[in-house]
Structure 1
Amino acid sequence: MKVLFAASEALPLVKTGGLADVAGALPGALAALGVDIRVVLPAYRGTLDKLESPTRLGELKVRGQPFVIWQGRVPGSPVLHWLIDYPPLYGREGDPYHSRQHQPWPDNAWRYGCFAEAVARLALGEGTGGWKADVVHGNDWQTGLTAAWLKLRDPSPRFVFTIHNLAYSGLFPRSAFEALGLPPGWWAIDGLEFHGQMSMLKAGLYWADAITTVSPNYAREIRSPRFGHGFDGLLEHLSPRLSGILNGIDDAVWNPATDGHLAQTYTASSLRPGKAANRAALSAELGLSPGLGHESPQTLIGIIGRLTEQKGFDVVLQALPELMQLPIQLAMLGAGEPELERGFAKAVAQYPGRIGLKLGYDEGLAHRIEAGADLFLMPSRFEPCGLNQMYSQRYGTVPVVHRVGGLADTVVDATTRTLKNGTATGVVFDDADAGGVLYGIRRALELLADPVARAGLQHSGMNRDFTWANSARQYLALYR
Structure 2
Amino acid sequence: MRVLHVCSEMFPLLKTGGLADVTGALPLELARQGIDVRVLLPGFPAISAALAGEGAVADLVTPFGPAHLWFARLPGTSVGLYVIDAPALYDRPGNPYDEHYQDNHRRFALLAWVAAELASGLDGLWRPEVVHAHDWHSGLTPAYLAARGRPARCVFTVHNLAYQGVFGRHAFGELALPESFFSVQGIEFHDQVSFMKAGLFYADHVTTVSPTYAREIATAEQGCGLDGLLRSRGHTLSGVLNGIDTAVWNPAGDPLIAAPYSAEKAAAKVKCRRELQQRHALAEVDNAPLFAVVSRLTEQKGLHLVLEALPQIVQRGGQFVLLGSGDPHLEAAFRAMVDAYPGQVAVQIGYDEAHSHRVMAGADVIMVPSRFEPCGLTQLYGLRYGALPLVRRVGGLADTVADCTLENLADELATGFVFDEFNARGVTTAIRRAFALWARPREWKAVRRNAMQQDFGWAASAAAYIGLYQSLLAH
Normalised-by-shorter TM-score class: over 0.9
Residue 306 (structure 2) aligns with = 316
Contact persistence 1:288–1:353 (CA under 8 A)? yes
2:216 paired residue among 218, 221, 225: 221
Shift of 1:216: 0.5
Structure 2 CA distance for partners of 1:303 and 1:54, relative to 1, 3 Å:
farther
Return the letter of the residue paired with 2:112: A
Shift of 1:200: 0.5
Secondary structure of the 2:301 match is: coil
The alignment status of 1:380 with 2:370, answered yes or no, reads: yes
Which stretch of structure 1 is more off in the superposition, 372-381 or 341-350?
341-350
The alignment status of 1:340 with 2:327, answered yes or no, reads: no
Aligned Cα root-mean-square deviation (Å): 1.4
Contact persistence 1:50–1:74 (CA under 8 A)? no
Residue 281 (structure 1) aligns with = 275
Residue 447 (structure 1) aligns with = 437
1:180 paired residue among 175, 179, 188: 175
Contact persistence 1:11–1:20 (CA under 8 A)? yes
Question: In 2, Cα distance between the equivalents of 1:343 and 1:365?
Answer: 22
The alignment status of 1:395 with 2:385, answered yes or no, reads: yes
Return the letter of the residue paired with 1:365: H
Question: In 2, Cα distance between the equivalents of 1:207 and 1:155?
Answer: 10
Shift of 1:4: 0.5
Shift of 1:60: 1.8
Secondary structure of the 1:256 match is: coil
Residue 115 (structure 1) aligns with = 111
Question: In 2, Cα distance between the equivalents of 1:288 and 1:56?
Answer: 53
Per-residue CA deviation, residues 90-142 of structure 1 (Å, 9 max, x unaligned), is 111112202xxxx542321111112111111122221x233111000000011
Contact persistence 1:59–1:68 (CA under 8 A)? yes
Shift of 1:339: 1.6
Which stretch of structure 1 is more off in the superposition, 202-211 or 68-77?
68-77
Shift of 1:64: 5.5
Secondary structure of the 1:253 match is: coil
Shift of 1:54: 4.0
Question: In 2, Cα distance between the equivalents of 1:321 and 1:371?
Answer: 24
Contact persistence 1:301–1:377 (CA under 8 A)? yes
Residue 284 (structure 2) aligns with = 290
Structure 2 CA distance for partners of 1:55 and 1:378, relative to 1, 3 Å:
same
Structure 2 CA distance for partners of 1:187 and 1:53, relative to 1, 3 Å:
closer
Secondary structure of the 2:296 match is: coil
Secondary structure of the 1:271 match is: coil
Residue 199 (structure 1) aligns with = 194
Contact persistence 2:159–2:374 (CA under 8 A)? yes
Residue 271 (structure 1) aligns with = 266
Structure 2 CA distance for partners of 1:106 and 1:268, relative to 1, 3 Å:
same
Contact persistence 1:335–1:359 (CA under 8 A)? yes
Aligned length: 470
Residue 473 (structure 2) aligns with = none
Secondary structure of the 2:140 match is: helix
Structure 2 CA distance for partners of 1:91 and 1:287, relative to 1, 3 Å:
farther
Shift of 1:391: 1.1
Taking only the aligned residue pairs, the percentage that are identical comes to: 47
Structure 2 CA distance for partners of 1:164 and 1:104, relative to 1, 3 Å:
farther
Per-residue CA deviation, residues 229-255 of structure 1 (Å, 9 max, x unaligned), is 111111011122000000011100000
Question: In 2, Cα distance between the equivalents of 1:82 and 1:356?
Answer: 42
Shift of 1:57: 2.4
Question: In 1, Cα distance between the equivalents of 2:204 and 2:121?
Answer: 20
Question: In 1, Cα distance between the equivalents of 2:300 and 2:227?
Answer: 18
1:234 paired residue among 209, 229, 234: 229
Question: In 1, Cα distance between the equivalents of 2:116 and 2:150?
Answer: 13
Question: In 1, Cα distance between the equivalents of 2:101 and 2:269?
Answer: 42
Contact persistence 1:48–1:54 (CA under 8 A)? no
Contact persistence 1:249–1:468 (CA under 8 A)? yes
The alignment status of 1:478 with 2:465, answered yes or no, reads: no
Secondary structure of the 2:347 match is: strand
Unaligned runs of 5+ in 2: 471-475
Which stretch of structure 1 is more off in the superposition, 44-53 or 400-409?
44-53
Contact persistence 1:43–1:86 (CA under 8 A)? yes
